Amino acid sequence: MTIIGVAGGTASGKTTLVNEVLNGFDTESVGLIAQDAYYKDNSHLSFDQRCDLNYDHPKAIDFDLMIHQIKDLKQGRSIDRPCYDFKTHNRTHQTIEVGPKKILIIEGILVLHDPKLRALMDLKVYVDAPEDIRLKRRMQRDIAQRGRDAAEVTARFNETLKPMHDAFIEPSKAEADLVIPSHRENRKGVQVLQNYIQSHLTPKS
């Protein structure tokens, strides 16, 4: 199994890039694991307490489970991937069975932060976008999809997202093998990743 890690700040364009890359391949060969599925189980906390947690800090992620399950996939074993409900801010009782693939993409803001997780990756990618672009994208997304207003989005960005980005996400760019700018259409970046995946799917002669 070949593992590709894709990180970058909030609204940097990670998901868009990954989806464009995946469009070129069948799901039997190439799979995706999203960091968002591995937020910790906080059933012991009330809903109000869960709302107050900092979900952009590495401590919010169950890296131990994520690493364990990715190792299982790498060794050819299926996993029961957790499911996370953003409405309740908690892990659900349901799981999704995920089988091993030839190529596995791991995507999330902090996937290049943890050294044990990085050690499992064959290619480490950082999707880069300027702060003002990321704020604009985040604002458009949260207003349209989550019913928030501009003041609320800006406050959360400045009080939580930016400090966490500066402390944990931006430094992880130094760990990347490939940095892809996403503030403009970047077909070359998509093509580079597709070519890399294709080269690992094609049997060696």
CATH number, position 46: 3.40.50.300
What local confidence, expressed as pLDDT, does residue 199 receive? 92
Given the DSSP bridges, would you call strands 79-85 and 103-107 parallel, antiparallel or unpaired? Answer: unpaired
pLDDT one-digit tens code per residue, 96-146: 999 999 999 999 999 999 999 999 999 999 999 888 888 888 888 878 766
What local confidence, expressed as pLDDT, does residue 184 receive? 66
Bridge partners of residue 80, in order along the sequence:
97
Residues 6+ apart with CB under 8 A from 153: 135, 138, 139, 142, 143
What local confidence, expressed as pLDDT, does residue 148 receive? 74
Arithmetic mean of pLDDT, 155-166: 89
Q: Quick one: which of 28, 6, 1, 27 has its CA closest to 18?
A: 6
pLDDT one-digit tens code per residue, 168-185: 999 999 999 999 987 666
**Count of CB atoms within 10 A of residue 38's CB?**
23
**Domain coverage including residue 181:** 2-201
**pTM across the whole model:** 0.90
Report the number of distinct structural domains present in the chain.
1
- C-alpha span between 139 and 79 (Å, rounded): 35
Residues 6+ apart with CB under 8 A from 205: none
pLDDT one-digit tens code per residue, 18-73: 999 998 898 889 999 999 999 999 999 998 899 888 889 999 999 999 999 999 99
What local confidence, expressed as pLDDT, does residue 174 receive? 96
| Torsions phi, psi for 49 (to 5 deg) | -65, -40
Q: Which tokens in the block code for residue 154?
A: 């800006």
Yes or no: say if 154 and 200 are a contact pair by the CB < 8 Å rule: no
Bridge partners of residue 196, in order along the sequence:
none
